[in-house]
Amino acid sequence: MLGVYSRRNASNALPVMWTIGELSIPHIRHNVGGSFGGVNTTEYLRMNPNGRIPTIRDNDFVLWESNAIVRYLCRRYDAENLLLPCNEQQYALADQWMDWHKTTLYPIYIDLTWAIVRTEPPLRDHALIESLQSKLESQLAILDTHLGVNGYLVGHQLSMADIPFGPLVYRYQKLNLEKKEFANIQAWFNSLKERPAFQHHVMFEFGRNPAEWYRFEREYS
């Protein structure tokens, strides 16, 4: 059976768990990372020398890097093409957007999240928060324009390309900030919110400050 090594609330675990949910893949998840620890043991480092989460083990096959895991799960378990693009060019476009998520959007988003959720309110750097939000919104404008044409990241239905973006948008929307409105992102996001796997694996509280973060890490484990 597929083993997933990750605490549930890790931002990089959400796409993996959502994929597992969409494809109904039998699995066992082990709580690793964050307040659960376990990422620096010899045994874990043998699987993932970065000491990061998530990692999966599929029989003897071990894989880390969340977007690589999402792609692998789709290739291996998605015989009905529920998420797996149907041809090489669609696959390449999915790859393109997933790489754009990981290299361009996510780094800004995670810095912004840490500056708010993982920082005590009196210690927050409001100038930094403002600048990160403005950078994030410039990138979200690109996503919004694209979704205005396609409806989804690739093609006209949900695919693996959408998977890393859904959790990011969910968590960004929950941050206590005044936000620019992006009508196309909102329409796309409204369709994700209807999906039971998205509701279960992504739409749970992650807290608004460090104390809540650690409380919810345990409560929603």
Ligand X SMILES: N[C@@H](CCC(=O)N[C@@H](CS)C(=O)NCC(=O)O)C(=O)O
> Angle, to 10 degrees, between the axis of helix 183-193 and the axis of helix 165-174?
110
Burial class of residue 111, CB neighbours in 10 A (0-12, 13-18, 19+): middle
Tokens of 6: 């990750």
Tokens of 73: 């799960």
Q: Which is nearer to ligand X, 10 or 136 (CB)?
A: 10
Beta strand spans in the chain (E): 2-5, 27-30, 55-58, 61-64
Contact 167, 106 (CB under 8 A): no
Compute the radius of gyration of the chain from its Cα atoms.
17
Nearest approach in angstroms of CB 148 to ligand X is 27
Nearest approach in angstroms of CB 49 to ligand X is 12
Q: Which is nearer to ligand X, 199 or 214 (CB)?
A: 214
Q: Which is nearer to ligand X, 21 or 33 (CB)?
A: 33
Q: Which is nearer to ligand X, 84 or 168 (CB)?
A: 168
Determine the Cα–Cα distance for residues 25 and 40; give it in Å rounded to an integer.
28
Residues that bind ligand X (CB under 6 A): 10-12, 33-34, 39, 52-54, 65-66
Strand order in the sheet with 2-5: 27-30, 2-5, 55-58, 61-64
Nearest approach in angstroms of CB 67 to ligand X is 6
Nearest approach in angstroms of CB 123 to ligand X is 20
Nearest approach in angstroms of CB 215 to ligand X is 16
Q: Which is nearer to ligand X, 69 or 153 (CB)?
A: 69
Q: Of all residues in this chain, which one has the CB nearest to ligand X in the complex?
A: 33
